[in-house]
Amino acid sequence: MSQSEIVLVARFTYRHEAEFAAGFLADAGIPHSVLIDDHGGHITMSNSARVLVAAEDAEAAREVLSQAGLQTV
C-alpha cells in the first residue's frame, strides 16, 4: 500500500479555529490532521494552526470548509 501525499488545506491563527474547521471535515467524513505548534501558547503566522488532508481529499475538504465560511489555501 502506498502512502498518499498530505496537503495543507487551511491555516489559522488560533488553535480553536483549526479545531472548529476539523469538526466540519469530521462531519463530512474526510480524514484530516490538525498540526499545531504553539510553543506553549504563542502561535505566530509562521507557526500557525494547520489543517491537512490527503491530496485526493483536498478538493472536497476545501469545498466543505468554504461552505462553512472558512478560508482555505
Grid coordinates belonging to 21: 474547521
What is the pLDDT confidence band of residue 65, given thresholds at 50, 70 and 90? very high
The CATH architecture one would assign to domain 6-67 is 2-Layer Sandwich (3.30)
Distance CA 6, CA 9 (A): 10
**Which grid cell sits at 3?**
502512502
Could you report the per-residue pLDDT of 28-45, keeping only the tens digit for each?
999 999 998 766 555 555
**End-to-end alpha carbon distance in the chain:** 28
Over its C-alpha atoms, the chain yields an Rg (Å, rounded) of 12
Bridge partners (DSSP) of residue 10 are 51
Question: pTM here?
Answer: 0.84
Among the ranges given (21-25, 39-43, 50-54, 63-67), the one the predictor scored with the smallest mean pLDDT: 39-43
